[in-house]
Structure 1
Amino acid sequence: MFIFEKLYDFLKEKIFAATGEMIVLNLGTVFECAVGRYPNEIALVQDKKYVSFLQLNEEVNRLASALRKLGVKKRDRVMVLMKNRMETVCLFWAIQKLGAIYTPINLRFSPEDTQYCINDAEPRVVFYEKFSERSVIKARFNERPILISLEQDGGDLSYRELAVRGASDFDCVPSDDDDIAVMLYTSGTTGVPKGVPRSHKNEYGSTMAHILQNHYEMFESTLGAMPLYHTMGVRSLLATCILNGKYVLLPDFDTRTALTLLSREKISCLYMIPTMYHELLNDPSISDFDLSALRKIGYAGAPMSVPLTKKCFQMLKPQHFVNHYGSTEIYTFTTCSVLDKKPGCAGRPGIHQQIRLVVPDTNAASTPDDIVLPGEVGEIIVHAGSIEAFKGYWNRPDATRKAIRNNWYFTGDLGILDEDGDLFIVGRVDEIVISGGENISPVEIEEVLLHHPKVLEAAVLGEEDDRWGQIVVAFIVTKDPTMTVQELDQFCKEHPKLSNFKRPRKYVFVHEIPKSPAGKILRRQLRSENIEQVGQ
């Protein structure tokens, strides 16, 4: 069951027997091993610039030594608000060599959410670029960090000014495998971002599982399409490094550039959210590109529709196609690689995992022993004792107690097992919306909508969408019949508390919103009722 826990311990024992030293396989060591194995293999590509593992290591060392001169030490948080660039990758590895904690922020967060994350993490340093400058500069810090800009004239100093201060040699700071390597922020099932600290062991184990589950081999190449503030992006980077593969950077996802890179760089594997596959396969020029090198594809982050799954098979002709169901907190829950037979299926537990389906309870009163009968819908829970599992949220013992009970992680997802024992996801306990791989809380959006002077009541839910997985739909009871969709949408666009990706993409004006006797919105009833749509 726990194959890589055993492999991890086995490797450490072998190294100890050979060297007389107990070596911890932290991420800094993992990177240095890759550099030592194949120093001249291409590690990174951006635009038409090619960087070998040896060249990458020299830049990483300069950054690590320069950051140490700035006072960054082991366990310090280093926050990164940057797109997928060479500089971001170099920072990731420099932070690992320092024993510090790579703490990226979702670039789609609102300025208010960004400020919250900065003050929650209390980073020693914040790196940013032009795209994220406004959120950083306008933030009110509880304790001001050092600000480093990618631009030459921004921040306390620029990225390049920092790099030239460092040396090309740097000794990796020893870190225990339970030390925190990465902290990602997720909206989770509430509107408040939560820090998810993940140890070196978590990241190593998750990456090895990812390699096995996707059938990756040495020297694979991949497109760095998923952002490096997302667990899928970090996983692609780590897997490619461990395999001495080529990681092709894509700072901004657009289909024409993605197709060009897939063809030109002969990329062999791809790991993206369904939205990206939808856009890629619907580009009218896709037939002009040679994608024959692409052999292995996978998706995660959101459900993929049956038509899109079939289109992936028809147009990309993968040798291996995986649906990966997991989370930031515990990387793998289940995987399915028989999507030709069972499109949309989440499959069976990952190599480290045990799952159960228990009685759903929005009040967090269910226990791991409240298992549902075969064929019944239940909340999916995952054992929290595996090498891939986090130990708890940053500064949020309340959220940790709710999520982890008796060493089981309660996902909030609803699922059902078919007659073969394969898992299918059927919804959410709390009706969270997953759009484009992002978790969106209906309650958060409802609170914003209710601030509009013409809105009496509001209810938000997700509607299936072939491109985004789900889109946010807002049902509105108005106080004033002059209210228009355009007026309400403009209000949401300008509201400081609402990130743009959370904004409703559809508004439905209704006469009433169904509620339980206790006043709780009956979202499922709202979805199923044939409600008169006014003002569309």
Structure 2
Amino acid sequence: MELSKILLQRRGADLDDNPYAVHQIQHSCRTISYKHAKEYLVQHQEWLKTSIFDSFEERITHASPDSTIVIAYLSNNSPDLFLSVISATSSCVRALPALINTRWTVAEVGQALQSTNSNDMTLLLYGPEFRETAEEASRIIAHFVVSLPIPSLVRLGPIIVPESDRRRSATTNDYDLNACILELSRLPLSHDDALIVFTSGTTSGPKGVRLSHRALVMQALAKLQPPCRYSSKTVMLATTVPFFHVGGLSSILAVWLAGGTLIFPGAPGMSSKFDPSRLLDSLSHALPSNTLVMVPAMIFAVQKEMQPGETFPYVDLILIGGQSASNTTIDFLTETYPNARVVQTYACTEAASSMTFFDVTAERSCLVQSLPLAGDCVGVTPRHVRISIFDATKQPSLEAVEESYTPGIIGTAGAHVMNGYWRRGGLNPVRRFEEWYLTNDLGFWDEENRLYFCGRANDVIRTGGETVLASEVERILAMHPSVVECAVFALPDERFGEAVCCALVCSGSCPCVSEVRKFCAKEGTLAGYKRPRRLFEVEELPRNSSGKILKFLLQERFKDAGRLRSKL
């Protein structure tokens, strides 16, 4: 069974009148019910079939068997975008949807969609802000491309003024979610490619990932289970989770499967990009969001916009992705959102979203305070996900690490794993050893079978014959009260081969570099070879569209700073 059919059939008559999406307009709002959303989904499907036929009729007639049609989406979040993407996953459309990162340059868009097969075809659908980018990208792509605006088929309901009691608790279910999960997990879900999502390209260029209908549904269902517990009472802010990221797409699907509501601040047509001030305004609305999905960089941006002592008691759930949140960030969240469960995830695009969940609010006090290894607890897996730790020294063979606190490469297996990488002109094979997909992330188990994430396997510094985990040094430096965030990276060093270096974002006007240097020199803080030999204070850390820090840009920026070695 395909994704579009599941969403069309999922909602029952008892929930069809529930709001699927809400546009907050000043103190009022306009809604779209599930009943009407399903009708618009079908309309988008018919529009796509007609547009593809009109655009490519002659080429389809004379196309070679190996030619493909891709529907590429370049747009900020909107109800029409989501419904069009889901409608495109149907086999009756005869094309494969691909979600394009809106922060890419024209050249990056063209490179992602380029093909070695001149018979391939692309329908490039764009939102109102991206017409120029889409048209420029169309001109540099060698094969046949047609660019069109995403049709505005959604019609909003009348203006309503919500009552104060419309503020709903996301943890209260009004129908049996367990029955819903059981029903959907038993469906004959298709293993065929549903769509393409691109990786963030932290260590190399972005890669297209082929995700199946089954993978997307199973990972969305994981968010209906503890500790997230999406339900028909979930009201999720839609502007913090770009649909082109797998975490955003998975959360949007989970909201639909649970019968929840998406919130879009502002009138239709307004930009739906993340804006911290608009987020705060949205949380003060008569119908506020009770569920936030954010990366730590967003949390930091919101914190800078807030008034002292401001709190939001109606928020029930904060789901953190992208990277691990520091203890300082967690403390801020628990103070600002006093009734919220804070859930840390561990995810990757190749696994169709989150592989583990850790309820920080409930379980942080249960963790071992003095670990023999440095790592961030990311929790346990949902039932359909398998994870194992493999000895990195034994590759290419696989040997699982059974002992607690023994690091290795994180591998995962199950229906959630991608079908493979994608490239126009051919399908790339999945990066697997036997049935396992190896993430290139380092991790270990504790005694309670909770997973800890230690960073990327290639995010290590080899200095003077010793190996230093960048994440371990970052975790220690983040304990200093003046350090807002930091990034540890390597620079060439004539004496040690590589030198441990660190870029710091500091708060206040104190001499941060000198204070951190003294902090590192304290006995028992860091071993001598782990202490940063060069410290650089910066206003902000460079990040990609997922909020992940791009350390290669720091290395490029400070590559000529070799003579500025500290005395540590």
TM-score, reference length from structure 2: 0.65
Would you say 1:61 and 2:76 are equivalent positions? no
Give the 5 Å matches for 1:229-378: 229-249=244-264, 251-264=272-285, 265-285=287-307, 287=309, 291-330=312-351, 331-338=353-360, 339-341=363-365, 342=367, 344-360=376-392, 365-369=395-399, 371=401, 373-378=403-408
Residue aligning to 2:193: 180
The separation in 1 between residues aligned to 2:136 and 2:549, in whole angstroms, is 18
Are residues 256 and 415 of structure 1, via their aligned partners in 2, closer, same or farther at CA, if it must alter by over 3 Å?
Answer: same
User: What is the CA distance between 1:366 and its match in structure 2?
Assistant: 3.5
SS at match of 2:421: coil
Aligned AA (2:384) = H
Given that 1:404 and 1:410 are in contact with CA atoms closer than 8 Å, whether structure 2 keeps it comes out as yes
Check conservation: 1:332, 1:388, Cα contact below 8 A. no
1:421 matched to 2:453? The reply is no
1:138 partner SS: helix
Q: Cα 1:431–1:503, aligned 2, differ >3 Å: closer, same or farther?
A: closer
Structure 2 SS opposite 1:297:
strand
Check if 1:218 corresponds to 2:232: yes
For the residue of structure 2 that corresponds to 1:233, the secondary structure is helix
For residues 149 and 104 of structure 1, the distance between their equivalents in structure 2, rounded to whole angstroms, comes to 15
Q: Aligned equivalents of 2:338 and 2:561: distance in 1?
A: 48
Offset, 1:511? 6.3
Give the CA deviation at 1:316. 0.8
AA of the residue aligned to 2:195: V
Task: Report which stretch shifted further, 201-210 or 386-395.
Answer: 386-395
1:35-74 aligned at under 5 Å gives the runs 36-48=13-25, 49-71=30-52
The answer to whether the aligner puts 1:531 opposite 2:508 as a matched pair is no
Instruction: Decide which moves more: 297-306 or 71-80.
Output: 71-80
Identify if the C-alpha distance between structure 1 residues 511 and 216 changes in structure 2 by more than 3 Å, giving closer, same or farther.
Answer: closer
- Rate the CA distance shift 1:145–1:219 in 2: closer, same or farther, 3 A: farther
State how 1:32-181 maps to structure 2 within 5 Å: 32-34=9-11, 36-48=13-25, 49-71=30-52, 76-97=69-90, 98=92, 100-120=95-115, 124-139=122-137, 140-149=140-149, 159-160=151-152, 177-181=190-194
Query: For residue 417 of structure 2, what is the amino acid of its counterpart?
Result: A
Q: Which residue of 2 aligns with 1:407?
A: 435
2:558 — aligned with what?
A: 508
Distance in 1 of aligned mates of 2:40 and 2:409: 46
Asked if the contact 1:267/1:294 (under 8 Å) is kept, the reply is: yes
Q: In structure 2, the residue corresponding to 1:298 is in which secondary structure?
A: strand
Corresponding letter in the other structure for 1:531: R
Partners of 1:504 and 1:148 in 2: how far apart?
Answer: 35
Could you list the runs of 5+ residues in structure 1 that have no partner in the other structure?
A: 1-23, 151-158, 165-174, 434-460, 478-488, 494-498, 514-529
Partner deviation per Cα, 1:284-343 (whole Å, 9 max, x = no partner): 237556x22211221111111111012212221245321111211113322211453249
Answer whether contact 1:375 1:418 (CA < 8 A) is retained. Answer: yes
Contact 1:42-1:52 at 8 Å conserved across structures: yes
1:334–1:348 contact (8 Å) kept in structure 2: yes
CA contact (8 A) 1:269 1:297 kept: yes
Paired with 2:47 and 2:231, the residues of 1 have a C-alpha distance of 35
SS in 2 for 1:65: helix
Letter in 2 for 1:203: L
> Structure 1 counterpart of 2:147, which letter?
L
Matched to 2:357, the amino acid is: T
**SS state at 2:103 partner:** coil
| Counterpart-to-counterpart distance in 2, 1:137 and 1:308 | 41
SS in 2 for 1:380: strand
Q: Residue 6 of structure 1 corresponds to which residue in structure 2?
A: none
Q: Is the 8 A contact 2:202 2:550 kept in 1?
A: no
Gaps of 5+ in 2: 61-67, 156-187, 266-271, 370-375, 462-469, 494-537, 543-547
One-letter code aligned to 2:315: L
Q: Output the amino acid matched with 2:98.
A: T
Distance 1:246 1:187, change over 3 A: closer
Give the 5 Å matches for 1:492-507: 504=553, 507=557
Q: CA offset at residue 66 of structure 1?
A: 1.7
The Cα shift of 1:68 comes to 1.0
SS, match of residue 345 in structure 2: strand
Deviation of 1:425 (Å): 1.4
Shift of 1:205: 0.7
When the two chains are superposed, the root-mean-square deviation of aligned CA atoms in Å is 3.9
